[in-house]
Amino acid sequence: MPNSDRGPAATPALLARELMRRCDRAALATSLGAGGTVTPYASLVLVACDLDASPLLLISDLAEHTKNLQREPRAALLFDGTAGRDDPLTGARVTVLGEIRPDGDATRLARYTGRHPSAGAYAGFKDFHLYRMAVERAHLVAGFGRIDWIEGVDVLERAPLDWLREAEPGILEHMNADHAGTLNLYAQSLLGLAGEGWRLTGVDPEGADLRSGGKIARLPFPAPVTDVSAIRQTFVALAQSARHGAQSH
């Protein structure tokens, strides 16, 4: 998992959001037991992010971590961006703290199953439910010497996003149906990734999520978008850059 492409001038909050959005899994820390017998319990979970970067989980009532959350919703998620490094401690990771509670929003569930297509097979099971973390704080370690605590209001995207929640399904359908070749070009030319079959699984104000089989990728936008027109213009500009890059090789 590569680090953010935002550069050294990026704020800690932006670096944290980018890392959260790049990861499709995290370590979940919950509290096992009750009263004087509480102990930490860590587990692996698949994650997606809402439009504002709030973490989303689709978990079973039968899982130990779900039982723990039902007793005590306060939890932590560790997003690890250190894979593939000779020295993992030079890579970025962020621990996000907050309360994780059930969330019945259908558009958030659609974002999750878009990120994790295999989850569509069990998303309708009675014992599986979507959970969302209300982020309170985050602790970012972006390599040696770059360590920051970030308040929850700064971790998450603050701008109103109802317009994108309404527009996102149509954007995904259009790009995947009519611009499959361009999506492959984004992955190959801009992100240096091999293979074809790349699909757009999500769009947020700061970038887009791609997937091909079991591979995922994050396509950062050069600047945040604030409306559908800006998304369209950004995709066109990225396509031009990708074609130029492909021709120069």
Reading the chain (249 residues) residue by residue, the pLDDT tens digits are 333 455 556 899 999 999 999 999 999 999 999 877 899 999 999 999 999 999 999 999 999 999 999 999 999 999 999 988 888 888 899 999 999 999 999 999 999 999 999 999 999 899 999 999 999 999 999 977 789 999 999 999 989 999 999 999 999 999 999 999 999 999 999 999 999 999 999 999 999 999 999 999 999 999 999 999 999 999 999 999 999 876 665
What are the structural domains, with CATH classification, of the chain? 12-158 (2.30.110.10), 163-248 (3.20.180.10)
Spatial separation of the C-alpha atoms in residues 64 and 60, rounded to whole Å: 9
Write the CA distances from 192 to 143, 183, 188, 217, 232, integer angstroms. 23, 13, 5, 10, 23
Spatial separation of the C-alpha atoms in residues 192 and 81, rounded to whole Å: 18
Q: Residues 148, 152, 158, 164: what is their CA dihedral angle, to the nearest 10 degrees?
A: 110
